[in-house]
């Protein structure tokens, strides 16, 4: 237990709260340290607060503060990777992988949580997930951390089958909600999107159960 | 940001004419458009820190929102659906159009100095 360290790698402030904050809370309750490597500051987000309080140039500052607040709610460390929102798929993958490998090595990760490349809807999600796989692949097999992947595309189960891991995060729902709400500029917009679209129950249920696929290197 | 005041914006556009300026132009319907509605298309474009010099520019009311066009020596810069503006503490003209939920649909920004990469600023 004492040598475990969970490293979460997602591109946007709030990905950790929507996608994995129940799981994160579960690890924290077990005394396992969690670090969030956040790829960008979400500076190209469309949600500017409702009513609008941010503009394109100030959004990154708000989102950085919101991330700090969410991290406090979840009791985790955050490191910023310093990329620019909506551009990750255009970065050289090998360079990203080297950079990520160095971070993952330094943190001595036992488990890395990221998006499932190709099944994560947002191009930044797919690109960072793929770079994480490339990063971990560079690590000696004996000391490689596990990778758990979050798939969110509508049809992912058709291709991938059922997830390997499924957490009912009801015991941590309060923490999850608090973390989501810390992302003030995003929370309203994302929750509205979820509530207004035709698969509402499925989306809400998705927030209450966190599922991951385990990656196996061939 | 606040609702467009046409004369204030026009004055700022005039001020920034005939000199090298940096432009941020963007439009988007979000990365999740076709995730939440399979009939929708994801569309968007953005260009940041394009350096241009425009001869003149104009903001035109369409009743409810505005169009802005800047005439370059060899072309145009154009944005539609602009509703809000701000002249920030760096003297930059920030224009944006938001939907009913406050989501950004279009942005046009003009600055005498390059727009920063915010992530680096805060490191």
Q: Delimit the domains of chain A by residue range.
A: 6-214
The ipTM estimated for the assembled molecules is 0.88
Nearest CB neighbour to A197, from listed B30, B36, B123:
B36
Residue in B closest to A122 by C-alpha: B31
What does DSSP say about strands B76-82 and B2-3: parallel, antiparallel, or unpaired?
unpaired
Nearest CB neighbour to B28, from listed A46, A82, A192:
A46
Residue B34's pLDDT is 83
What does DSSP say about strands B76-82 and A111-115: parallel, antiparallel, or unpaired?
unpaired
Task: Check A57 against B115: CB less than 8 A apart.
Answer: yes
Residue in A closest to B88 by C-alpha: A57
Which residues of B lie closer than 8 Å to A, measured between beta carbons? 1, 24, 26, 28, 30-32, 35-38, 46, 84, 86, 88, 92, 94, 96, 98, 101-105, 107, 109, 115, 117-120, 122-123
CATH code, residues B2-115:
2.70.180.10
Which residues of A lie closer than 8 Å to B, measured between beta carbons? 40-41, 43-52, 55-57, 60-61, 64, 80, 82-84, 86, 121-124, 152-154, 188-189, 192-193, 197-199
* pLDDT digits 0-9 by tens, A1-29: 568 999 999 999 999 999 999 999 999 99
Contact A128, A177 (CB under 8 A): no
Nearest CB neighbour to A57, from listed B35, B94, B103:
B94
Q: How many CB pairs under 8 A join A and B?
A: 90
Cα separation, B84 vs A6, whole angstroms: 43
Measured between CA atoms, how close is A81 to chain B, in angstroms?
A: 9
H or E element, residue B30: none
What does DSSP say about strands B93-98 and B104-111: parallel, antiparallel, or unpaired?
antiparallel
Tell the residue number behind the tokens 């994160």, with chain if given: A24
User: Does residue B64 have a pLDDT over 80?
Assistant: yes
Q: Which residues pair with A9 in a beta bridge?
A: A37
Superfamily of domain A6-214: LmbE-like (3.40.50.10320)
Residue A204's pLDDT is 74
Ranges under pLDDT 70 in chain A: 1-2, 193-200
Best residue in A19, A46, A190 to probe B by mutation, most B CBs within 10 Å? A46
A51 cis-preceded (ω within 30 degrees of 0): yes
Cα A184 from chain centroid? 17
Residue B30's pLDDT is 83
Six token digits for residue B107: 């942005």
* pLDDT digits 0-9 by tens, B79-121: 999 999 999 999 999 999 999 989 999 999 999 999 987 645 4
Cα separation, A126 vs A89, whole angstroms: 8
B107 contacts in chain A (CB < 8 Å): 56
Query: What is the pTM (predicted TM-score) of this model?
Result: 0.92
Task: Check B102 against A47: CB less than 8 A apart.
Answer: yes
B1 contacts in chain A (CB < 8 Å): 52, 55
User: Does residue B123 have a pLDDT over 50?
Assistant: no
Best residue in B3, B87, B118, B120 to probe A by mutation, most A CBs within 10 Å? B118
Residue B106's pLDDT is 98
Of A102, A95, A104, nearest to A127 by C-alpha is A95
Nearest CB neighbour to A193, from listed B26, B28, B32:
B32
- Is the model more confident about B26 or about A208? B26
Average pLDDT in the B12-41 region?
A: 92
Side-chain-facing half-sphere of A64: CA atoms under 13 Å: 19
Residue A142's pLDDT is 92
Burial string for B100-112 (b: 16+ CB within 10 Å, else e) reads ebbbbbbbbbbbe
Cα separation, B11 vs B4, whole angstroms: 12
- Percentage above 90 pLDDT, chain B: 79
Measured between CA atoms, how close is B45 to chain A, in angstroms?
A: 11
Task: Check A47 against B38: CB less than 8 A apart.
Answer: no
């Amino acid at each position: 237990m004492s040598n475990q360290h969970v490293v979460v790698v997602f591109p946007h402030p709030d990905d950790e709260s929507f996608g994995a904050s129940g799981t994160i809370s579960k690890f924290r309750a077990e005394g396992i340290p969690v670090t969030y490597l956040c790829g960008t500051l979400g500076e190209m987000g469309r949600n500017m607060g409702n009513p609008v309080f941010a503009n394109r140039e100030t959004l990154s500052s708000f989102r950085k503060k919101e991330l700090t607040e969410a991290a406090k709610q979840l009791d985790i460390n955050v490191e910023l990777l310093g990329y620019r929102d909506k551009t990750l798929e255009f970065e050289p993958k090998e360079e990203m992988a080297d950079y990520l490998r160095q971070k993952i090595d330094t943190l001595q990760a036992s488990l890395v949580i990221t998006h499932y490349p190709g099944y994560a809807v947002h191009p930044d999600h797919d690109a960072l997930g793929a770079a994480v796989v490339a990063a971990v692949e560079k690590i000696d097999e004996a000391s490689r951390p596990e990778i758990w992947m979050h798939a969110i595309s509508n049809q992912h189960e058709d291709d991938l089958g059922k997830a390997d891991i499924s957490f009912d995060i009801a015991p941590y729902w309060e923490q999850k909600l608090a973390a989501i709400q810390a992302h003030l500029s995003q929370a309203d917009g994302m929750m509205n999107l979820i509530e207004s679209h035709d698969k509402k129950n499925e989306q809400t249920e998705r927030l209450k159960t966190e599922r991951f696929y385990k990656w196996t290197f061939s | 940001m606040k609702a467009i005041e046409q004369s204030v914006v026009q004055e700022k556009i005039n001020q920034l004419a005939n000199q090298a300026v940096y432009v941020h132009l963007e439009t988007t319907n979000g990365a999740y458009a076709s995730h939440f509605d399979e009939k929708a298309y994801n569309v968007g474009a953005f260009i940041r820190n394009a350096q241009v010099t425009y001869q003149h520019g104009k903001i035109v009311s369409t009743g409810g929102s505005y169009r802005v066009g800047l005439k370059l020596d060899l072309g145009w810069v154009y944005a539609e659906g602009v509703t809000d503006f701000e002249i920030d503490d760096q003297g930059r003209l920030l224009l944006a159009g938001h939907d009913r939920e406050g989501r950004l649909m279009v942005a046009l920004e003009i600055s005498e100095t390059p727009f920063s990469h915010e992530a680096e600023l805060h490191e």
